[in-house]
């Protein structure tokens, strides 16, 4: 019984304990302030007003905050300007490299074209020389055939009037029996000279 009485008296004491200052502040200041803020935000939303932008503008008008914002924006602008300068320098460097590569490519293209033209000229010249050589060979073969048809008595004086190179060239291309007949009709010293030249040429 004593215990129950003690409990009842303790609860009564607890009930009679006065309300604290924090509770009074919560009841009379913070809760109405929160309620008023909520109502204002709802009204601002319906009125299409951005409360956070307004707060940002008001805060920037404060001296110590605006100075800090100006310093921050100044530093950010400086960093951006340095970045822009760096990028512009890189662009100019890339453009210079590109211009050099284009020039080198154009030079190499011109050189290739010149080499192709020179190569074609040499091919044409070789073809012309081969053609001339074939014509000369045909002409020479015609001359040799004519000498073959002539009599040895007619050929001998003509050969002695030629240069040694031409004479040896014709004599070495005559048939052996025709050659023997022509040498026979020459003067002995001429026949000996041509025989010696043909022997040294072979």
Q: Which of 170, 196, 194, 198 is nearest to 183 (CA)?
A: 194
Mean pLDDT of 115-141: 86
Of residues 3 and 160, more confidence is placed in 160
Ranges of H-type helices in 150-186: 152-161, 164-173, 176-185
pLDDT score for 91: 93
Of residues 77 and 87, more confidence is placed in 87
Task: Check whether 12 has a pLDDT greater than 80.
Answer: no
Dihedral (CA of 169, 172, 174, 179) sign:
positive
For the chain, counts of helices (H) and of strands (E): 9, 0
Mean pLDDT of 169-191: 89
Which of 54-63, 114-123, 152-161 comes out lowest in average pLDDT?
54-63
The chain-wide mean pLDDT, for the chain, equals 79
Token pair 């990028």 is found at: 87
Task: Collapse the DSSP code of 186 into the 3-class scheme (helix H, G, I; strand E, B; otherwise coil) and give the result.
Answer: coil
pLDDT score for 143: 85
| 40 vs 30: CA distance, rounded Å | 15
Q: Which of 32-41, 63-72, 120-129 has the highest mean pLDDT?
A: 120-129
65 in Cβ contact with 59 (< 8 Å):
yes
Residues 6+ apart with CB under 8 A from 40: 51
170 in Cβ contact with 144 (< 8 Å):
yes
| 144 vs 142: CA distance, rounded Å | 5
Task: Check whether 139 has a pLDDT greater than 60.
Answer: yes
pLDDT score for 71: 61
Mean pLDDT of 179-202: 86
Of residues 58 and 3, more confidence is placed in 58
183 in Cβ contact with 191 (< 8 Å):
yes
Give this prediction's pTM: 0.38
């Amino acid at each position: 019984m004593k215990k129950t009485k003690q409990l009842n008296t303790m609860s009564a004491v607890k009930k009679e304990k006065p309300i604290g200052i924090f509770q009074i502040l919560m009841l009379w200041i913070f809760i109405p302030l929160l309620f008023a803020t909520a109502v204002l935000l709802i009204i601002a939303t319906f009125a299409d007003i951005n409360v956070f932008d307004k707060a940002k503008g008001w805060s920037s008008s404060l001296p110590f905050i605006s100075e800090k914002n100006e310093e921050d924006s100044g530093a950010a602008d400086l960093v951006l300007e340095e970045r822009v300068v760096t990028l512009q320098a890189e662009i100019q460097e890339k453009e210079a490299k590109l211009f050099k590569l284009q020039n080198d490519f154009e030079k190499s293209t011109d050189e290739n074209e010149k080499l192709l033209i020179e190569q074609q000229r040499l091919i044409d010249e070789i073809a012309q020389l081969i053609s001339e050589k074939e014509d000369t060979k045909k002409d020479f073969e015609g001359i040799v055939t004519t000498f073959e048809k002539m009599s040895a008595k007619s050929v001998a004086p003509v050969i002695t009037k030629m240069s040694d190179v031409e004479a040896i060239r014709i004599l070495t291309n005559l048939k052996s029996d025709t050659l023997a007949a022509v040498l026979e009709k020459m003067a002995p010293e001429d026949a000996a000279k041509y025989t010696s030249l043909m022997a040294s040429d072979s």
